Amino acid sequence: MPDKDGSPPRAVSPLRPMVVLAVSVFAFDALIMPVLAALFPLPGIWAALADAVFLTVLVFPVLYFSGFRPMVRMTKAREEELGQIRRLSAVLAAVRGVNRIISRGSASDRIIRDICRKLIATRGYHGAWIALLGPDGKISGTASAGMGDAYSALTRMLSDGDLPPCTQKARARAGVRVIEDPSTACAPCPVPCGYGGRSVLSARLESGGTVYGVLTLSVPRKYAHEKEEHDLLEEMAGDIGFALRGIEAEKQRKAAEAALTASEEKYRLLVEHADEAIFIVQDGCIRFHNPATARLAGHPPDELEGMPFSRLIHPEDRNMVSERHYKRIKGEDVPAGYRFRVVNKSGEKRWAQITSTLTTWEGKPATLNFIRDITGEKKLEEQLRQAQKMEAVGVLAGGVAHDFNNILTTIMGNAELALMELHEGSSLHEGITEIRKASERAVSLTRQLLAFSRKQVIQPRIIDLNETLKNMEKMLRRLIGEDIQMEAIYADDIWNVYMDPSQVEQVVMNLAVNARDAMPEGGRLILESANVVLDRAYFRDHAVESAPGDYVMLSVTDTGAGIDPKVRPRIFEPFFTTKEPGHGTGL
């Protein structure tokens, strides 16, 4: 029984009772022998022999039952106590070794392998194996030590999806599960032959309500139900479960970090390589931007950081964009996308389509903005409007040309009839001849109008451009007047061209009239033709789509004031002119 203070009972030595009994026996002998000698007188030698026999018969039974027998029992109990102490010391050493493995390990498969080896190496247990369980309850990994060939048979059983009874019992309920005789209780399992007649203790590796596996140990049967054994096993299983939980959490953290890194890299590449300008505006300033924003703004990236966004907006659009930005910050309803003009660092103006949405930047409200350069689209829209205007002019021109052609038919017919009645050389004949020629030029003009309106096809043919220009010189000189000097510089070896000569005549005549109006004080009008070879660079620089090769150049130059650069983009718009009313409609 334990002492009152709870400490283990101390064994009482039989030596002291033996000494007391021996002294008592000899004292008794000293008292009784004189009485016997008086009653039964014996010779000297026989008296001594009788005294010796009396002592032997009296002392030896007393010594045996009161001394030697208790001493043997005490020695045996002491040996058992020392054996249990040595075993528990080995188990404690195994627990300490397990904790060291846990503190240094980071991979679950390596940890359970080293733990099994440590449990056997410290001689705390005869056999050990650990089964790890996945989220689906199936075994995801195993390790063992001290089980020999029995473990190979167990792995085959696990590969078939079967769990041993010890694993099933431990997984089903917390605490230590005891299988005292595995040879009968675990009949389907191939492992009991490796336990060598020992019992089995199992405990699930649990932490935070999750079962990560089962630890199974082989122990001598006499220790199978000892509380100290169970307590140590539960403590060790809890430590291993806590370690496995930490490893699983670390795996999940690393997986989340890897997924986050991959996501960030994906979006970083998306933002950095996007054609659209992507930037964040907070408190009216740019806080983040991608390379496309720097390209659109024409500023180096370091200059854009912290720059007021309004500096990039055209002055005429600045109030509108700023007002919508601050309304969006306040949560008011504003269009998500709209157009405005951007002014880059070099002063170039470009059209932009912006789409904005609310976001936060460093804990404060901001807007995430996407800007697409639509300057090209605006040009296409202008071209579409130009084409629509030209289509409207073509419809009008076609109707006028038909009516005018009917009038010209009457004029030319009557002119022909008049010429038949008049003599050549008369002044009237000459005048009517000029009327006929003018009517023919008017017919050519109506044909061009019909071609423009797509109601009559043009009539191109192979012509000598120099001859066409020479035939126009007399008319052009009368058209521009005497104050303007006309010069003609024609290449001698000019190449032939394939085109409608009436269109050439109309273009040159319009340019000559425009040049005359630009030189009211007089000047020079120069017509020039030449052979040229144009490459791809020429067409690229002049924004014209055509094939490189041999061309014939027609140049019409005057010494007038020229065209204002702001007006040049609009010179081919129908009805656009800078002239005063009553002075023509321009080119």
Average pLDDT over residues 245-259: 89
pLDDT digit string, tens, across residues 113-124: 888 888 887 766
Please check whether residues 127 and 227 belong to one and the same domain: yes
List the one residue out of 56, 95, 61, 71 whose CA is nearest residue 12: 71
Does any domain span residue 365?
yes
pLDDT digit string, tens, across residues 158-179: 776 677 777 778 788 888 888 8
Q: Provide the residue count of the chain.
A: 587
* Confidence (pLDDT) at 71: 62
Instruction: Say if residues 213 and 130 touch (Cβ distance below 8 Å).
Output: yes
Question: From residue 576, how far is each of 88, 110, 333, 563, 585 by CA, in Å?
Answer: 108, 86, 40, 13, 7
C-alpha 267/C-alpha 258 separation (Å) is: 14
Instruction: Say if residues 439 and 415 touch (Cβ distance below 8 Å).
Output: yes
Please check whether residues 465 and 582 belong to one and the same domain: yes
pLDDT surpasses 70 at 221: yes
Tokens of 124: 């705390």
Q: Which of 238-247, 260-269, 346-355, 578-587 has the lowest mean pLDDT?
A: 578-587
Q: Give the Cβ contact number of residue 220 at 10 Å.
A: 14
Please check whether residues 76 and 174 belong to one and the same domain: no
Q: Give the Cβ contact number of residue 524 at 10 Å.
A: 14
Which one of 104, 132, 147 terminates a domain? Answer: 104
pLDDT surpasses 70 at 44: no
C-alpha 72/C-alpha 318 separation (Å) is: 109
pLDDT surpasses 80 at 329: yes
Does any domain span residue 261?
no
Average pLDDT over residues 450-478: 80
Mean pLDDT of the chain: 80
pLDDT digit string, tens, across residues 495-519: 999 998 888 888 898 889 888 988 9
Please check whether residues 350 and 475 belong to one and the same domain: no
* Confidence (pLDDT) at 33: 61
Tokens of 53: 């026999």
pLDDT surpasses 70 at 192: no
Which one of 80, 104, 128 terminates a domain? Answer: 104
Please check whether residues 222 and 97 belong to one and the same domain: no
Q: Give the Cβ contact number of residue 571 at 10 Å.
A: 13
Phi-psi region of 94 (alpha: psi -120 to 50; beta: other; left: phi over 0): alpha
Average pLDDT over residues 150-157: 74
* Confidence (pLDDT) at 308: 92
Q: Give the Cβ contact number of residue 355 at 10 Å.
A: 14
* Confidence (pLDDT) at 277: 92
* Confidence (pLDDT) at 191: 65
Does any domain span residue 511?
yes
**Amino acid, res. 468:** T
Please check whether residues 419 and 506 belong to one and the same domain: no
Please check whether residues 142 and 243 belong to one and the same domain: yes
Q: Provide the residue range defining the domain that includes 301.
A: 275-373
The confidence band for 445, taking pLDDT boundaries of 50, 70 and 90, is confident
Give the DSSP H or E segment for 469.
Answer: helix 465-480
Please check whether residues 381 and 365 belong to one and the same domain: no
pLDDT digit string, tens, across residues 478-487: 888 889 999 9
> What is the 8-class DSSP label of residue 215?
E
Q: What is the helix, strand, coil percentage profile of the chain, to 5? A: 55, 20, 25
Please check whether residues 442 and 469 belong to one and the same domain: no
What percent of the chain is modeled with pLDDT above 90? 18
Does any domain span residue 570?
yes
The confidence band for 467, taking pLDDT boundaries of 50, 70 and 90, is very high
What CATH number corresponds to the domain at position 151?
A: 3.30.450.40
Question: From residue 140, how far is each of 134, 157, 172, 213, 241 by CA, in Å?
Answer: 5, 14, 17, 9, 15
Packing angle of the helix pair 15-39, 44-63 (nearest 10 deg): 150
- If one counts the domains in the chain, the total is 5
Question: From residue 275, how far is each of 8, 155, 295, 373, 374 by CA, in Å?
Answer: 84, 58, 10, 9, 12
* Confidence (pLDDT) at 495: 95
The confidence band for 288, taking pLDDT boundaries of 50, 70 and 90, is very high
C-alpha 154/C-alpha 145 separation (Å) is: 13
pLDDT surpasses 60 at 14: no
Bigger pLDDT: 62 or 505? Answer: 505
Q: Which residue has the tokens 């030590």?
A: 145
Instruction: Say if residues 274 and 284 touch (Cβ distance below 8 Å).
Output: no
What CATH number corresponds to the domain at position 314?
A: 3.30.450.20
Say how many CA atoms lie within 13 Å of 60 toward its Cβ. 6
Give strand pairing partners of 210: 207
Inter-residue long-range contacts of 505-508, CB under 8 Å, 24+ positions, other chains counted: 505/444, 505/468, 505/472, 506/444, 506/445, 506/448, 508/469, 508/472, 508/476, 508/554, 508/556
Please check whether residues 404 and 447 belong to one and the same domain: yes
Please check whether residues 408 and 483 belong to one and the same domain: no
The confidence band for 463, taking pLDDT boundaries of 50, 70 and 90, is very high
> What is the 8-class DSSP label of residue 313?
B
pLDDT surpasses 50 at 317: yes
Does any domain span residue 281?
yes
Bigger pLDDT: 30 or 212? Answer: 212
C-alpha 219/C-alpha 119 separation (Å) is: 11
What CATH number corresponds to the domain at position 515?
A: 3.30.565.10
- Which of 30-34, 161-165, 383-387, 580-584 reaches the highest mean pLDDT? 383-387
C-alpha 175/C-alpha 439 separation (Å) is: 118
Average pLDDT over residues 458-481: 87
Query: Could you tell me the pTM of the whole model?
Result: 0.48
* Confidence (pLDDT) at 582: 53
Please check whether residues 283 and 299 belong to one and the same domain: yes
End-to-end CA distance of the chain: 127
pLDDT surpasses 50 at 406: yes
Which one of 195, 221, 252 terminates a domain? Answer: 252
Q: What's the Rg (C-alpha) of the chain?
A: 59
